[in-house]
Structure 1
Amino acid sequence: MIVKATTYGWKIIYHRAHALLAAQLAGQWRHQDVPVRLYETLAAISHHDDLEKEWEEDILTEAGAPKDFTLNSDTDADAGVEKLAELAKNALYRGRWVALLISMHISRLNEPNRGKSSKLDKVLDEQLQNQQRWRKELGIKKEEVDAAYVFMQWCDRLSLILCQQELPDDERFLEISKGPNGQRYDIMQHRDNLVTVKPWPFQEEQFTVNVEACDLFQVKFESNTELAQALQKAPINVLEWTFVKS
């Protein structure tokens, strides 16, 4: 989950909600430049964090605060190997294209940890084998798959920037990442809170996206159960961003 400290406690955005925001952004992309198999790609984007089940997991730091996803340790990574394998397998329910993109996402995030765990290495090897097989079975070029994944990664990154509230002050630009065409994109928030991206990659000249967040009015929790219960009872507010071409 994505955790932001507030003056009253914490603001929490679930990872699945962040993925849905990424899919909203993907759906706004300029129609003539969308990757192949767009709707399946949107499904992969919206479901790429389906392994996260915050109410059922260890979501507390040693200090008793909600644990932001960036604080995961090597122990968390080891415990998550089976979850990764399950995510890759379950993605097949939506088809090989969705499974292929999610498998590539698993590889990108976890290949830097190769060699730290034999179980993880086995899962990573399986991903590479599956990716090669699915590309062949689908009859699609690697370049097209790579472009679709870069598109997915770009939308994921932009969603994280918004959810983590990383937009700079004073109308300064922040790099998002390179898009599927190799072009670098930057984001900036105006003083009136309208947001723009340069160069403009979207179909419409103005649109609004949103994500739901939970507000916790308690700083410290004694157990995962207490925090999970607080999250399920917490008031929810909708965070919105309006994008404009400028």
Structure 2
Amino acid sequence: MIVASHNKGWKIITQRSHGLLAAMIAYQYDIKLPNEIIVPTLIAIAEHDDGVAETLENKNLTDAGAPRNFLVSDNSSKTELKQYLNVMELATSKCQLNALLTSMHLNFIFGGINEENDSKLNLFLKEQETNRKQILKHLNIDKKYSERLYRLVEWCDAFSLLICLDKIQPEGRKMEVSESPDGDINQVFYKDEKIISLEPWVFKENSFTVFYEYKILEQLKFASVEEFNKICSEATVQREEFIFTK
């Protein structure tokens, strides 16, 4: 869950909304992939953070009762695996390529974490490594090809997060996105308010529109996750649109 302070309270963006924005960006990326590859890849991008109802997760409220941004640690010594087990079950039930890319994303998330004291996470990561090797063999896909596909997933995920977290610098200042599928480093910047450009340009169209949906919660503190979920479900859905232009 992405949470930002707002002059009326809290701005709440679900990870699912962020994932959909990432898929919109991926859909426009000018990469030549066959239908049986690009469609599962787009689905993996859209659904890589699914798996739980975010507003019903106790960990998504701080000790003070405020909505917790996903970047704010809950100081737990163990990783809650429910979401990741669920998202892998969903991905695996669709197709092996979807499962492969989703598993690679989880490895990307946890790859730099010291899991020595978290035996369940350690076992989960080892199982995923084994599963990825089996899928590559079964699909007859080499590791280099799968890594290029995953760079598309990660690049679009990173781009979407820059937008949702409002990290793109104002006044036309440029910043890096991430390593692209072809190994390039792109720079993103605002041409004007809500008008985004990229150098070098990697998209099929010279101009297109993307969006994410969010809610504003005027209540600042919640006694329980049930109360938070109720208030959030009753809040009005709003949309933030951006125009990408060359």
Q: Does 1:73 align with 2:40?
A: no
**Residues of 2 paired with 1:192 and 1:11: CA distance?**
19
Range with bigger deviation, 3-12 or 80-89 = 80-89
Residue 87 of structure 1 and its aligned partner are, at CA, apart by: 2.2
Identity of aligned residues (%): 33
Residue 36 of structure 1 and its aligned partner are, at CA, apart by: 7.7
Change (3 A) 1:31 1:181: closer
Q: Pairwise CA RMSD of aligned residues? A: 1.7
Match of 2:14 in 1: 14
Unaligned runs of 5+ in 1: none
Match of 2:102 in 1: 102
Range with bigger deviation, 172-181 or 51-60 = 51-60
Range with bigger deviation, 216-225 or 13-22 = 216-225
Change (3 A) 1:181 1:31: closer
**Residues of 2 paired with 1:93 and 1:243: CA distance?**
34
Contact 1:35 1:148 in 2 (8 A): no
Range with bigger deviation, 150-159 or 168-177 = 168-177
Contact 2:194 2:241 in 1 (8 A): no
Q: Does 1:212 align with 2:213?
A: yes
Match of 1:116 in 2: 117
Q: How many residues align?
A: 244
Change (3 A) 1:82 1:203: same
SS of residue in 1 equivalent to 2:242: strand
Range with bigger deviation, 204-213 or 188-197 = 188-197
TM-score by length of 1: 0.94
**Residues of 2 paired with 1:111 and 1:86: CA distance?**
19
SS of residue in 2 equivalent to 1:21: helix
Contact 2:2 2:13 in 1 (8 A): yes
Q: Does 1:158 align with 2:159?
A: yes
Change (3 A) 1:36 1:90: closer
Q: Which runs of 4+ in 1 moved over 4 A?
A: 33-36
Residue 192 of structure 1 and its aligned partner are, at CA, apart by: 4.1
**Residues of 2 paired with 1:69 and 1:101: CA distance?**
21
Unaligned runs of 5+ in 2: none
CA deviations on 1:58-113 (whole Å, 9 max, x unpaired) are 121112211100113352x7251243233223311110000000001111111323
SS of residue in 2 equivalent to 1:129: helix
Contact 1:15 1:52 in 2 (8 A): no
